[in-house]
Amino acid sequence: MNFFEHQAKARRTSTRLVLLFALAVLAIVVAMDLVMLAVFGRGEGAGGVLVFTTLVTLAVIGGASMYRIASLRGGGEAVALQFGGTPVPEDTTDRYLQRLRNVVEEIAIASGVPVPGLYVLEHESAINAFAAGYSPSDAAIAVTRGALEKLNRDELQGVIAHEFSHILNGDMRLNIRLIGVLFGIMVMGIVGRRLMLHGGMSRNSRDGVAMFLVVALVAIVIGYIGLLFGRMIKAGISRTRESLADASAVQFTRQTAGLAGALKKIAGIYEGSKLANRGETEEISHMLFGDGIGFSGLFATHPPILKRIQALEPGFRAEQLERLQAQWHAAPPNGLQEDARMGLAGAHDALPAASSQLNVTPAMVSSQVAQPESDDYRRADAIVHSIPDELRTLARQREQVMPLLLAMLLGNDQGVLGKQRIEIASRMGNEAAEAAFGLRGTLAQSLHPMQRLPLAAVAFPVLRLRPRPELDAFMDTVFAVVNADGQVSLFEYCLGRLLHVQVRESLDPGRYAHFGRRKPGNVKQEFATLLAVVAKAGNPDDPAEAQRAYLAGMQRVLPRDHVPYAPPAEGVLALDAVWEPLDALDPLAKQVMVEAITAAASHDGRISVAEAELLRTVCAVLHCPLPPMLERA
């Protein structure tokens, strides 16, 4: 199953979730109505009582769900903080946290997405983790302290890769909606427990207390119906996705030992994966890497741990697990010590020369969207370690991240540069303008074309920590810099647009979380504009060749339609009108779109590294992340 099929399946699962929610609500309403009939009988006014009861019950459930979803509107950060996460400092000296940051950065770069926010559940000694958010732009990964300390690097890598599969496949937004839905159908039980506590402490008359406790007991019983449905919904939706995430993690990290090792440690150590705060864990149990509560059978949110291990290592047996349990009972595992015994990673792959030509096909590229494999991971590792230390340090500093990103957008024409300096100084001050222009030469001399997007990915989690007014000013500046002159290159324009999209989504993630439904036939002119701009950018001095490239792309996406080649007079600025309609395409239509863009960029079957980076940037703007190298090793 590729990225686009995952997205389509996630959309269908969202529909299924709505149906299951409706069924749970119906059961709760019927239960409430039966209680009211038992209390008031079937007299003349029974119909009005039932209508009133139904409306009140629906209002309570609907209001509770909307309230809970609204409380998580801040996306991944809001979820991580509400459930006890502590942000990982940018300048941490904790060796466990440094290792976590390095692993996450490598996997994010291999995936072609921004580095997510990082959080630690400091007081949890079990091995567990979760990813939360509406999209990669606001994603957060939370890891328990137990996972950091007990897992070696390969095992931590397997866990993080598992969580990245949820980020890439649209599982996260479904998980947040599921939290809201579950809160709505379980709210009656929550109300009942609070009434029971209040009634038990009441000093009023014995009859009043008794009545209070009866009402509370009824609410608890009805709430249990919601809890029952909630656990079944979580289990039904979560188990399959966890198995798929395990498979994706193995594909991603090139070996099964890491993920299997993490699962063995969960099964073999005393703490396992169960979290200490059971009350909060109930809400997020469907999001966790391992079973955080301990349910089995019908209510299990994860496949049995032994089956998960055997899916990765078919020859593994229960007796081996017993030996590991005895070993770790005598000497608990220590991840850093295991890393030292295994030695450091081997040599890193070399990056291709900037003048290299890559051999790609449209189908090959579309199959790689959000589906990195072992060679992509190796290249991501090479990119991370070859980015100059000075630039990586600047990307992690709050005061330097904005000038660094602005420096990546600066052009080469002196007239354009003068306008860009004025735009930065007028919006962010002379100091920011001087810092950005001071970095321009360093970036030009020391940054490989394949390192520009990864450096932006590393910088992004620091960028989004800035206060909202500063981010608003930054977005205005980015827009002004890339539009300072019509001569801005397509890559600079798209990189600026990508930063704008990611910042916008991180500021209001709930607003932009959706699966598109449009079909290619509804956005013909938008396709024509995008493909014309891409074709001309790849063939600036050969109009005939550019037209052939354009037709190669249109043949992929609209083979029965004739839309003549007409490069827009405003150049790249014409793309402002195409992003939103194209981003709203149905997931499977997006697959065709990626193939069309690839066909236009590589109509002769080969593209340069610079053209490949342009293709990656365009696809990233349209939420179709590609790995760092489009040609498979």
State the Cα–Cα distance between residues 511 and 499, nearest whole angstrom. 17
**Strand (E) or helix (H) holding 117:** strand 117-121
Pairing of strands 129-132, 117-121: unpaired
Q: What distance in Å separates the CA atoms of residue 45 and residue 40, rounded to the nearest whole number?
A: 9
Catalytic residue chosen out of the listed positions 77, 105, 106, 163 = 163
What's the N-to-C CA distance of the chain in angstroms? 21
- Return the structure tokens found at 544: 């005939």
Residue 44 falls in the annotated catalytic set = no
b/e code 336-366 from CB counts within 10 Å (16+ = b) = eebbeeeeeeeeebebbeeeebbebebeebb
- The C-alpha atoms of residue 459 and residue 397 are separated, in whole angstroms, by 8
Please classify residue 263 by burial: count the beta carbons closer than 10 Å to its beta carbon, then call 0-12 exposed, 13-18 middle and 19+ buried: buried
The CA distance from 214 to 427, in Å, is 64
Q: How far apart are CA 185 and CA 231, in angstroms?
A: 11
Q: Would strands 357-359 and 129-132 be described as parallel, antiparallel, or unpaired? A: unpaired
Name 252's Cβ contacts closer than 8 Å, sequence gap at least 6: 107, 110, 161, 164, 165, 372, 373, 374, 377
DSSP 574: G
Q: Is 84 left (phi over 0), alpha (psi -120 to 50) or beta?
A: left
Nearest to 129 by CA among 111, 108, 145, 110: 145
Report the candidate in 178, 163, 174, 176 with the shortest Cα–Cα distance to residue 113: 163
Q: Tokens representing 514? A: 């959706």
Yes or no: say if 28 and 219 are a contact pair by the CB < 8 Å rule: no
Residue 500, CA atoms < 13 Å, CB-side half-sphere: 21
Residue 562: burial class (beta carbons within 10 Å; 0-12, 13-18, 19+): exposed
Q: Which residues participate in catalysis according to the annotation?
A: 163
